[in-house]
Amino acid sequence: MCANLWCMEFTNLYFLGIGGIGMSALARYFRAKGYAVAGYDRTPSPLTKELEAEQIPISYTSALDDVTGLDPSTTLVVRTPAVPEDEPKYVWLRTKGFTIMKRSEVLGVVTRQERALCVAGTHGKTTTSTILAHLLHESHVGTNAFLGGISNNYRSNLLLNTNSDLVVVEADEYDRSFHHLTPYMSVITSIDPDHLDIYDTAAAYQEGFNVYASLVTDTIVLKQGYRLDRSRLQARVFTYSGEWTSETRPDFYATNIVVCDGQITFDLVGPKVDGEDLSVPNLTLGVPVWVNIENSVAAMSIARLNGVTADEIRRGLASYTGVYRRFNIHLNTPRLAYVDDYAHHPTELEASIASIRKLYPERYVIAVFQPHLYTRTRDFAEGFKRVLRKVDELVLLPIYPARELPIPGVTSEILGGTVVQKQDLTNYLCERIRKLTCPVVIATLGAGDIDRLVDEVKSRISQLV
């Protein structure tokens, strides 16, 4: 197969699983490039509705009506691993000789055409890549970007800039997808074991990142405390952290951090590279969440290494408004606050809960957590229990299965807390709030379909303020 998608004769692209955040960005990208784009997804969602409004046809059934007219000589099929092998459309397309590529393979082609600034890691990929894309977009440098979430600044997961050869990409380790990429520069935010259904062991997970890091051609910005096999690297390595707290000083870090009246200010300390001091003083964090200090240090490091000026960094960081479901504060009154966050791994939950405690130190915290995947719940049960004990009250929804079948004995009950069905959650929360006389924070946490409940929860509890 030709390594360059644009030298193929394809004029159409059909996406199996088009409603996924990464797939939808690719669909938008190729539609903007002039290709005919269509796709399938199992269920409608706000994102698929947006795609349809952009004149991208989508089927929501396994019927073959929308694929039988496709020509394998002119149509490339792009699929996500979330689509099962026995999905009738997928089976039919395979048997008819269509060229089928994984999303990660197509994204890999894109990274070979542009200078790819990739963000990898167990946690923080989406926020860090979105901050980086915003800083570049708001500067004289410019960028294209495939984001793993919907940017609040742009209401999209895709940025296009025909004048820039940079592209920001979220490098997903699931299914070893990031091994298809050719990064020019990369942030690696963390290497905490995850996806053990794919990697089996923590050592294999670490090796997956060693392989990925060996693909980076110019620069790696690595979170302080994590290790790579440097004998295999072709890239230079800088380290970073939110604060300088270890004996070894990182290359990039935040100092003079001040939290006051809901605002976070700090200075970026950076090294001298090619004679230029990459430090930036007097920064204001647009989304004042503690973990975003660390995320923004990583993003600013790559932005500075690509020529974004100190003044552009200041303006860009202050104007950043966040990512959908990355610590979104939906309600904030003296009596009641409501935070929604995508955290679904113990380390992410710990960071989210710590941020809540820093922002609302005296409040009673009720966390609603929807576990994501039976395997993750099983593999990290002790970690989940340890972290979730840090809230005052824990409410659990049933496990969101995604691509998995149930595992005997693995249910939300093993994490402790009170298990509530989705349809009963809002009434349950309202009753709990009415019985409490102290200020309260409600936090909905998880990566499944808990986001479908956010508007309802916000509407109902707002009436109790």
Q: What percent of the chain has pLDDT over 90?
A: 77
Residue with tokens 């955290």: 343
DSSP 310: H
Distance between CA atoms of residues 46 and 144, nearest Å? 23
pLDDT digits (tens, 9 = 90+) for 182-201: 999 999 999 988 878 889 89
Q: Report the topology of domain 5-102.
A: Rossmann fold (3.40.50)
Whether pLDDT at 8 is above 70: no
Stretch(es) of the chain classified as CATH 3.40.50.720: 5-102
Specify the higher pLDDT residue, 54 or 402: 54
Judged by DSSP in three states, 177 sits in helix
Judged by DSSP in three states, 364 sits in strand
Whether pLDDT at 273 is above 80: yes
What is the average per-residue pLDDT within 98-106?
93
CATH architecture of structural domain 328-462: Alpha-Beta Complex (3.90)
Q: Provide the token pair at 47.
A: 């994102």
What is the average per-residue pLDDT within 91-97?
96
Helices (H) and strands (E) in the chain, counts: 14, 23
pLDDT digits (tens, 9 = 90+) for 22-39: 899 999 999 988 999 999
Closest to 446 (Cα-Cα) out of 409, 401, 413: 401
Closest to 183 (Cα-Cα) out of 210, 214, 208, 206: 214
Whether pLDDT at 291 is above 80: yes
DSSP 48: H
The pLDDT of residue 7: 45
Specify the higher pLDDT residue, 81 or 68: 68
Distance between CA atoms of residues 140 and 436, nearest Å? 51
DSSP 42: S
Whether pLDDT at 1 is above 50: no
Q: Which run of H or of E encompasses 361?
A: none
Amino acid found at 430: C
Question: CB of 142 within 8 A of CB of 161?
Answer: yes
Contacts by 63-66 with C-beta closer than 8 Å and gap 24+?
A: 63/88, 64/88, 64/89, 64/92, 66/38, 66/40
The CATH number that domain 114-319 falls under is 3.40.1190.10
Stretch(es) of the chain classified as CATH 3.90.190.20: 328-462
Q: What are phi and psi of 384, to 5 degrees?
A: -60, -45
At 5, the pLDDT band (50, 70, 90 cuts) reads low
pTM given for the model: 0.78
Q: Where are the alpha helices (DSSP H) in 259-415?
A: 291-305, 310-319, 346-359, 374-379, 381-388
Distance between CA atoms of residues 354 and 411, nearest Å? 26
Q: Which of 22-26, 116-120, 261-265 tops mean pLDDT?
A: 116-120
* Mean pLDDT rounded to a whole number for the chain: 93
Stretch(es) of the chain classified as CATH 3.40.1190.10: 114-319
Closest to 134 (Cα-Cα) out of 254, 294, 325, 299: 299
* 9 contacts: CB under 8 Å, gap ≥ 6: 73, 74
